[in-house]
Amino acid sequence: MTRAADATAPRRRIWGRHKGKPLRARQRQMLEEFLPRVALPDGPLSARGQFGDDRPLWVEIGFGAGEHLLALAAANPGVGLIGAEHFVNGVASCLSHLERAGLGNVRIHHGDAHEMLARLPAGGVARIFLLYPDPWPKARHARRRFVNPEGIGLLARALAPGGLFHLATDIPGYVAHAEAQMSDRPEFRPVPRDIARPWEDWHRTRYEAKALREGRRPHYLVWQRI
């Protein structure tokens, strides 16, 4: 794999389960009826194509149930939010909240984040969020982590100069892995900050709440696209 991500190369699986508990009738309805209204189309993507103008684009990789994604959308109506999530129960939950909130600046990709990132406009994204990703703690699975050469190459391609990549995790090993991987990339520089404190417009997720209940300390890291 070269430093520039190869969109034709086979993708490594970065998610765990595809589906959890059986979906309720309301959730099935959201997937069948509402998802097509907010889903990304096939082919190249753009802010104008999705939102009708050249607004800034922010992306969340693996949005879970959508708490952070929808909070950002509500607080930033002039920004286009694109969320990618493979876990069907999370997508269904996010769709229910999105419909009730009536937000028009959110689009959903139910599938592989690598594939979605490869279709975004080169240099067209202002911020990308990766919050509490699957840590893949076993050494033989570490290559499945998103913050590896393939994923970083896609981040570098999508982010505009000056754009920001935000990572939140409660796993110290993931912090060390991410810092090591990102330090080898001349396209990025770390943003000096107290990584024990969330960035300014952070919105807590259920995964962070669980980590805190179980005594794990979250870390919040930011890199800037050079």
The pTM score is: 0.90
pLDDT tens digits for 163-191? 999 999 999 999 999 999 999 999 999 99
Cβ-contact 164, 58 below 8 angstroms: no
Counting every residue written for the chain, the total comes to 226
The predicted structure's pLDDT at residue 193: 97
* Type of residue found at 57: L
Place of tokens 């810092």: 179
Q: Which residues are catalytic?
A: 134
Strand partners, 106: 81
Rounded distance between C-alpha atoms, residue 101 and residue 70, angstroms: 8
Q: Per-residue DSSP letters for the chain?
A: --SS--TTSPPPP--S-S--SPPPHHHHHIIIIIHHHHBPPSS---HHHHHSS---EEEEES-TTSHHHHHHHHH-TTSEEEEEE--HHHHHHHHHHHHHHT-SSEEEEES-HHHHHHHSPTT-EEEEEEES-----SGGGGGGSSSSHHHHHHHHHHEEEEEEEEEEES-HHHHHHHHHHHHT-TTEEEPP--TTS--TT----HHHHHHHHTTPPPEEEEEEE-
Tell me: the pLDDT tens digits for 96-141? 999 999 999 999 999 999 999 999 999 999 999 999 999 887 767 7
Task: Note the pLDDT tens digit of each residue in 41-62.
Answer: 999 999 999 999 999 999 999 9
